[in-house]
Amino acid sequence: VQLQASGGGLVQAGGSLRLSCAASGRTFSSYVMGWFRQAPGKEREFVAAISVSGGSTYNADSVKGRFTISRDNAKNTVYLQMNSLKPEDTAVYYCAAGAHLMAVTTTPPYWGKGTQVTVSS
């Protein structure tokens, strides 16, 4: 599966952004999807994941209550709605895919190119 993230940009603290990740191929609905981020000088970290049906979601503690992951299997797209953004959310955001939740939250086999999110104070 090939993944392409978009929707990043510059936003003020407290603002919102919605990231999208479009996937190629006809098997999108069979993949667990996730989002990761990497801030300058830091390791890449897990942000959120969603089950194949969209019925279950998982979020890192740092984004709980602020970020929401969702998916539209008819459009082969996964989203990350980010609200109440903070300067510490500044990072390159990557979407990822895999067959199993454990893999997607740790070492996903498929990655897309990232999209930059910058939150100004």
- Helix ranges restricted to H, 17-121: 101-106
Would the pLDDT of 25 be above 80?
no
State mean pLDDT over 104-109.
92
State mean pLDDT over 11-23.
98
Contact 50, 69 (CB under 8 A): yes
Q: Which of 19-23, 31-35, 69-73, 100-104 has the lowest mean pLDDT?
A: 100-104
